[in-house]
Amino acid sequence: MSDPAPPHPGVTPLRVLIVDDQPLVRQGLASLLDLEDDVQVLAQAENGRQALHLADELRPDVVLMDVRMPVMDGIQATAEFRRRNGPPVVLLTTFEEVEDMTGGLNAGAAGYLFKSAEIDEILEALWRVHRGEKVIHPRVAQALAQQLRVPARLEPSGLLTEREVQVIRALAAGQPNKRIGQQMGISEGTVKVHVSNILAKLGAGNRTEAVRRAMELGLLRDETGG
């Protein structure tokens, strides 16, 4: 009798590197992810430095990483992954510190979730960032938005750069990256970098949400104050 066919024939497994300084957390995540036929846990690391070494060796598709760790924390490691053009990083945390959230997103994290998230939510985030999307937990976005509303009057220059303000206004007008680049005299890739930075600074999960938050914060008002 022949062996049964694989559950998802033709599907290339998503290769994941898990990083957490707590062995039980690492092993628990690995055990749950290993239950998925389309996910392969390549290795586990206990800090950011070890994760960078393993990533160079194993070439994972995505990194699932804790924020607070000894030796090298998740924010430092995320920034280094970004500098090396490494795999996308999904940060996991038990803390709701806004400083951690802004630090992680500004460092280049593609996703930011809490460890209390269901495994299905984590799986969805891993696949989405692998496709090039950003995944920000609603509580993270809400915390960042609340922090941004603290000043009574917040000028655009105090939050976004002048160039980022131009980009968010173009997004609000519904213009695609290519058109924005042509109008601003920059490459489409540079536009994408600006968009990524805007999403991180506004704590937005997508362009539509970024435009909405920019409107709430008064960043889309014209220069005459209208």
> Where along the chain do the CATH 1.10.10.10 domains lie?
162-217
Residue 22 has pLDDT above 70, yes or no: yes
Report the distance separating Cα 115 and Cα 20, nearest Å.
11
Q: Distance between CA atoms of 86 and 53, rounded to whole angstroms?
A: 12
CA 45 → CA 48, 74, 118, 157, 177, distances in Å?
8, 11, 22, 40, 37
Q: What is the mean pLDDT of the chain?
A: 82
Mean predicted confidence (pLDDT) in 134-156: 61
- Banded pLDDT at 186 (limits 50, 70, 90): confident
Of the candidates 25, 57, 58, the one whose C-alpha atom is nearest the C-alpha of residue 40 is: 58
Q: Provide the whole-model pTM.
A: 0.61
Q: What would be the CATH architecture of the domain defined by 162-217? A: Orthogonal Bundle (1.10)
Query: For residue 48, what pLDDT is reported?
Result: 93
Domain boundaries for CATH 3.40.50.2300 within the chain: 14-145
What are the pLDDT digits (tens) for 77-106?
999 999 899 999 999 988 777 777 777 888
pLDDT value at 180 more than 80: yes
Write down the pLDDT at residue 144: 66
DSSP E strand boundaries for the chain: 14-19, 39-45, 62-66, 89-93, 111-114, 135-136
Least confident of 135-144, 190-199, 211-220: 135-144
Q: Check whether 155 has a pLDDT greater than 70.
A: no
What is the average pLDDT across 31-49?
93
Question: What's the whole-number mean pLDDT along residues 208-214?
Answer: 85
State the average pLDDT over residues 12-31: 93
pLDDT of residue 151: 43
- Looking at residue 44, its pLDDT comes to 95
Taking alpha carbons only, the member of 196, 202, 201, 197 closest to residue 215 is 202
| The domain defined by 14-145 carries CATH number 3.10.20.30 | no
